Structure 1
């Protein structure tokens, strides 16, 4: 039984003894008005997301809003599986997919603070297999890199590697270690000249390999010792204990009639993969990811535990893309958005057509999980669903990210 599960069991027993409803998370909920949040606005947030479940468009959804360091909203609604009807709880475990990337970014910045690497270092200094990579030109000819790809470019998806779908066969394999991916990439040309194009590919998995080399530890051990344990993220990792499997939500999709169905699990979440994906391998809970995000908003510290320096956090959310290089996740290229160290950054809210404050930074996961951190309005929002292609616009999954933005900012009584 995990630390968190023991804690929850103790809370449950205590609440039963007192004749109260069980508390499914240790986090306390502050009065919304105390931090400039409207209770009416939070009711609208709940009504909207509960409606998506009641209409059969989502199996379940968990949402959390914190402002000025206080959680004012933490809701879990629906089921973990449409077949079993197991209810979704605040401590439900989700596959957070690419929300793993900011965690890897923090791990990299821990090593950055220790002087293990610099932004303008060539990647080949740490991955010698990439020293002589050629670039595939438009006509198929191979040319030299016009400059060695840098760590800054690796951290911002502009090192020249192709999108993940551009590699056939896939360069990653759950049953092989990170070194096997490096060996494969070391024999393939780059898709673009470094620094010239933003492509969402293997860059963060490469960072995972670099973390292992620079720290001398497997990636999961580094994450646990340097991030998860200090932040009390007891339910976050590359696998879950077998006893905790009932807490893991199923992945859902839609049949031909657009009815929700649970899909067979792609992988057994109780089995730790050989390939520790810093790009997308973690499972976590809403509360755990809030603790991680709140640390970032606080300038690298939470509950007296410091993970990074404030200036390092500012560096992480500073745009490092060259002029004319645009973030282009699902197309078309996103105006007003930049990219820092494994996080996207809102540079111009008007151009980005978002109510989020300037300098907000964020990312999401393939199964629909999403989060953002807004230092201008001093808030964190975490959202969790679990659908195949759950973050791809234009599919059957409701576009929960864009739905949540106006609801959150309409709930603020002093929005900036």
Structure 2
């Protein structure tokens, strides 16, 4: 007999497909240690389900208050922080980056050679703040393993070593060539780490303090931060690395994790840990036009601007990207100021709405907001890399399939 009840226009019996699918396909076979999924519509949580283990070695189950490494799901939070300063007139999006980081004037682009012996040519365009938001800056990530430039990032430890500082990152990047002239291509990169540095510079306040005062405290996100405190350790998940044959290998033990100590590098691109309810408060604020429980973190028009596709000519990522990446689907997806944005539902090969936006993290976490359906989905697990399984697209199919 079909369950005819609804929660905010979602069918509970159809939402159970998520639990069944994750258990049968991923958790029971040992492909994922555990998972935690939340679905909300019109501000009401319709489904939240912890499954499996947060720590296989200690046989600890995933709980609703488990703390996860959210890695690149930090990027939307950093982007909102920077756009708060935009709303205060602290900068303009077409400001050259070198206005705030003088050493970045006269950037050069890689031509040939290996670090430290690069042959370069002058960039044909000036990097703007907008280029940092949209990953059209010409910067890269060392883990791309694609070019001699990203090899230099790896050699210099620029992907987020806890011993790095925000100032050291920015100074070192000034010495390295860009992958391409700013604005001419899309490449996933440390750009959002640079935005975190600019937040600190423009606000004249440490980045973590700024986030706490302007986003985390207003949205009641007490478990979100750059390190795991002693009183949080019991809730901190282990992180795992995919091994051939659908096997898991412990990648980061909670007891000895670098996240247990306060690092000098506050990574705006990937440094936060969080819980599913903390992140739901943030995602729901986005879904409600920038406000949650009477606390506004960003203006409605500013958010509309951020979730527009900012790629030239309304292109999608495959037609404009030069590097591989897994935090967003490919076709039918553009990029805004800190989020991927769905531009063509049919082309994307995944159910959803035009205007759906969100992002994911290295350890396979993800979220999306669908403003058309007033829908929020958040998925937490801890498996590196995020490209291992197509869970994000499967979740879209199941969540949208529960709409009635």
TM-score past 0.5 threshold? yes
Deviations 1:203-229 (A, max 9, x none): 011101101100111111111110000
Displacement of 1:259: 3.5
Displacement of 1:104: 0.4
Farther off after superposition, 244-253 or 364-373: 244-253
For residue 259 of structure 2, give the secondary structure of its aligned residue in structure 1. coil
Partner of 1:251: 239
Aligned in 2, Cα 1:206/1:33: closer, same or farther, shift over 3 Å? same
Tell me if 1:357 matches 2:331: no
Q: Which of 153, 156, 163 does residue 131 from structure 2 map onto?
A: 153
Displacement of 1:153: 1.0
CA contact (8 A) 1:82 1:261 kept: no
For residue 79 of structure 1, give the secondary structure of its aligned residue in structure 2. strand
Tell me if 1:208 matches 2:186: no
Partner of 1:19: none
In structure 2, how many angstroms separate the alpha carbons of the residues matched to 1:252 and 1:345? 29
For residue 57 of structure 1, give the secondary structure of its aligned residue in structure 2. coil
Partner of 2:146: none
Partner of 1:49: 22
Tell me if 1:232 matches 2:226: no
Aligned in 2, Cα 1:32/1:135: closer, same or farther, shift over 3 Å? farther
Displacement of 1:352: 1.3
For residue 236 of structure 1, give the secondary structure of its aligned residue in structure 2. coil
Partner of 1:276: 266
Q: How many residues align?
A: 378
In structure 2, how many angstroms separate the alpha carbons of the residues matched to 1:358 and 1:32? 28
Tell me if 1:373 matches 2:364: no
Q: Superposition pairs for residues 30-49 of structure 1, below 5 Å?
A: 33-49=6-22
Deviations 1:247-271 (A, max 9, x none): 0000123556544343343733221
For residue 186 of structure 1, give the secondary structure of its aligned residue in structure 2. helix
Partner of 2:338: 342
Tell me if 1:399 matches 2:390: yes
Q: Which of the two has greater strand per residue? A: 2
Deviations 1:84-127 (A, max 9, x none): 11111000000000000000000011001011111111111111
Aligned in 2, Cα 1:317/1:254: closer, same or farther, shift over 3 Å? closer
Structure 1: unaligned runs, 5 residues or longer: 1-30
Deviations 1:160-215 (A, max 9, x none): 11333312413243113100011111111111011111111110111011011001
Aligned in 2, Cα 1:322/1:163: closer, same or farther, shift over 3 Å? farther
Q: Superposition pairs for residues 87-236 of structure 1, below 5 Å?
A: 87-137=61-111, 141-165=119-143, 166=150, 167-169=153-155, 170-171=157-158, 172-236=160-224
TM, length-normalised to structure 1: 0.87
TM, length-normalised to structure 2: 0.89
Report the RMSD for the aligned CA atoms in angstroms.
2.0
Structure 2: unaligned runs, 5 residues or longer: 144-149
For residue 58 of structure 2, give the secondary structure of its aligned residue in structure 1. coil
In structure 2, how many angstroms separate the alpha carbons of the residues matched to 1:264 and 1:401? 23
CA contact (8 A) 1:152 1:320 kept: no
